[in-house]
Each structure stands twice: as C-alpha cells, then as structure tokens.
A and B are shown apart, each in its own frame.
Chain A
C-alpha cells in the first residue's frame, strides 16, 4: 500500500509541475507536407516556452473534416486556401487569426539515378515513361497536393492521358514514399518533399503559375486555442520560422 501511495504522490507532483508556470499543451493539425519544418519549429518552441506541442500530420482535407466534426485541435495548418475557406464557412475558424505561413512548388520526381532531368515538361515523354507503370500523386479528388498537380498537368494539356496512369495516395508523403520505394517511375510532390531527399531526383520544377498558388495558411480553431496556442501561431509567422521554412525549400511569402 505504501508503494502505490508514493507513486500516486509522485504523479501528482509531476502533473502539478508541468502545469505550473502556465506550461500548456497545444494540439496542432497540420498538412502532411509540413512535417519537417514544423517539427523543428515546434521543438524549439517547447524548449523556449516549456509548453508541449503535439502535431497530427495528415492530408488537409482529412484534417478539415476532423475539425469540422469537433476534433480538439487548437491550430489548423492547411496546404491550401480552399479547405481553410471550407472550415471558415462552417464557422470553425477564428477569421482574425488567419495567417500566411509559406508557399511551395510542385516538382516531378523519380527514384534516384533512374532518369535524367528535363528542362521542359514534355507530356509525350512522360506518357512514354509511364507506359505499363503509374504516376504517384496525392488523390486529386480531395488532397491539395493532388489538386495542384492536376491543375499543372491540365495546363500542359496532359491531364486526360496521364490520368489513366495514376496511383492516387492518401496524402502527398505517401506518394513520395512510392517513389522512394521505386514502386513507381514518376511522382508529383512538393519541392519541400524532395528537398535533401537522397532517394529521389527532381526531374522538373513546375512554374508557380502552372497552378493556383500553393499557400500554407494557419488559423486558430474557435473554441480551442488558448494563449499558448496563439503564441505558437505568432511564432509560426515570425522571422525565425520563415528561415526554417526556407531551409526546407518552402518558398517565402
């Protein structure tokens, strides 16, 4: 009996200590492609403030639906404006807190060492490579990265033919994984996904005007988001964070 009483007391002290001095817990729902920069920013923030930051990475579409259904997220970081607007229309977002975080670009990738880079995008070349194979892409029906990719391919008049050779995945990181695993010869992912990735080669960078602007937008969720969450949001838009985003090949504002 004495042993469990001691254990209980210790636990209580621990909990008290972590909530002392206003140490709070922040829950962030973030687009899958933000995983590298956001993890770094969050760790630094934890060290600086003592608050605990937990992040759930998934497709922006999935996260938006979860927040709509009442998930207890404090902040929502979306890979495009459309899903942010969708949530805002349902009254889940604090409009005043909406902030631009960074941009991104689309790239065509291939398993490392498999194909040479292209200076222009050639639909027929891509079709030829894809014969009997597939192009890995986040599901264009609902995942932002896939929607941007579809826009870009449509701009190059290649969408109708390439669309028969797609391997649609649950989010953009899964598409990246397929290319890394050499399961597919080509994939379209964000520049940030390919950055510093030894398993893939970037064959072509899509121009920014090939698609709607890729903007990462953050906002606080109504009903949650205490002072610590707002603090983190401010940190995310700060200069240090911008440097971190650039470091991982996200484009600046």
Chain B
C-alpha cells in the first residue's frame, strides 16, 4: 500500500498530490503531457526530492520532509520501467536482467524469462533489439530486482501500435499471474482502461480525481481531462451466454444485456467494456426496425452545454454517455429527467478475464 502527500516546486511548475493505493493492483497515473506524472513517480522512486511531504510504502517511510527522512533510491526496493527502457548498452540482455537481481521466493530468472518470452534474446545486445523487445527486457530487469512496487512510466509510448499490442498481454500477465503492485503512468486512455483498477488523474500538477477506473471514466466533468475523443462509459460485465448460430456473445451488466459479435468467452468470464460516447445515439420514441442490437431505455441525468456537440449522461441502470449535436438536443428537447432510448453502435471489450487474450473492437450491427 502506498500513501503519499507531497508538494514540489520546480521553477514555475508546482506539483501538489495526495492519494493512497492498494497492494496487488494496478493504479494508473493519468494525465496529459506536462501534468507532472513523471515528476511524481521520480519522487516515489527517490530520483527527485519533493520540497515537502511524505511517501510511505507498505508502512516503510521512504521520505518525510519533517522527520528529515530521505531513503536513497537504491534502497527503496522500487522497480522502475522507463519510457525509453534505459537498458545498459555495454551489457547483453542476460547481464542487464541480472543487474539488480535479488533472490525471490515467487519469481526467478527462468520464470521471468519465460513469462516475457526473453529466451532467444539473452545473448544479444540492446542495440540490436526492437523497441518492443527492449521494453520486455526492461520489465524483466525491474521485476528481477524483486521490488515491493513497480513503477512504469508510459512504457508503451515509444512503441508503435502493432508492437504495443504484443506487449500489453505481458503486462496483463504481470497483473493477473504475479499480482505485482504496479503504478502505471500513461496519457493513453485505452491502456488505462485495459490495465488499471484505480486511477489518479493529474492535471497541471494537481490531483483532479482519484477512484476506480469505471467510476471516473463515466464522469462527465472529467471528460476534458480523460480525453474527448475516447471518452465514454466504462463498465463491468459478465459473459452469460454465446449464440453460436449468429456468433454473438451476451454480456450481462447493470443496465441489461449487451450483445457483441464474435467475442467468444467462457460463461462467467468477467470483462470490462468501454462504450465511447461517439458511438451512442439517442432516440425519443421506441426504436423499431433498426439494425442496432443494443438498445437501452433510460433517463437523462445531465445534459451538457457545448457546441457543436454535447455530451449527455443517461442512467440506464448503469451510467451511459452519448455525444449528440446541440441542434439535436434542442430539436428533441433533451433535458434532465427526459426518458429516452440509447442505441449503442459499437462496443469495445478492453479488458480480458483471467484466461487472457487480445482485445478486439467490434461494430455491432
């Protein structure tokens, strides 16, 4: 468990953050560039010293300005996977991996090498590896130092989209199989939704919100921070059936049932579902003869103002957000309290269950 309350000033930039996280989970530190994310985790790692405050990890005080405690980075037992990997160029992969090695009851060299598929690379030099391979080695190296806490600073930022898809499963395995406590810094919403349980939203050096991913992502007021394009409801669902004839999976959630094409899951699998606001349409009357499979009835809770598009929060038993034009809002007279139907055109299943697999997005008609 990490407890932290720090203040730091560097030139004009002021960082002021306080939050707590649970063990054995992934907490995302989310925010735009310049929000202070890297500064924050550098302080947790001990590479930067906060102006004042405290940082306590699992009951061990790592930093406390008033008590004059500042444990040096090399004694904090915190692993750090950097954005650019930072592998040592004069050592081969094997020596890199073993650089910080500490004996560990849970993980050993063979297991990590297996988990991250590093076997074929062991004799090679970092210079000859691809970006994705380097990041896997970086993760392995940090893990082999048997850290109490693993920090990952936008580890996928400098990887191209295809490689990213290769590495994400490895990180999921860290979370699912090894139960490592991870602090994951990112400005990419898809990664956060896919990997994290809780998130801390940083904006201009301040903590804007702390909470579970599903809850924060569904809050309209946070949309400017979570990114307009990707914004939308995130909810937990359970697979309750599979229609083999039409190839449709049925996912049960608080608002009803979602039917998703092609995403075959075992019954009982828990998944996380992301419904982007831009993929939701609204209709006042009951929709008839429509190709959209997923239609839900609900009440408008909040209708934003904005132009030319507005976001509307609807309660269908679970929060759902739709993005429509202001003109439509006026024409249909959509206000809080109005009952209407939401049509969900596309559903992204962004988090797989414990059995693993790759994420796919399916349009739903």
Instruction: Answer whether A and B touch in the complex at a CB cut-off of 8 Å.
Output: no
Q: Which residues of B contact A (CB under 8 A)?
A: none
Q: Which residues of A contact B (CB under 8 A)?
A: none
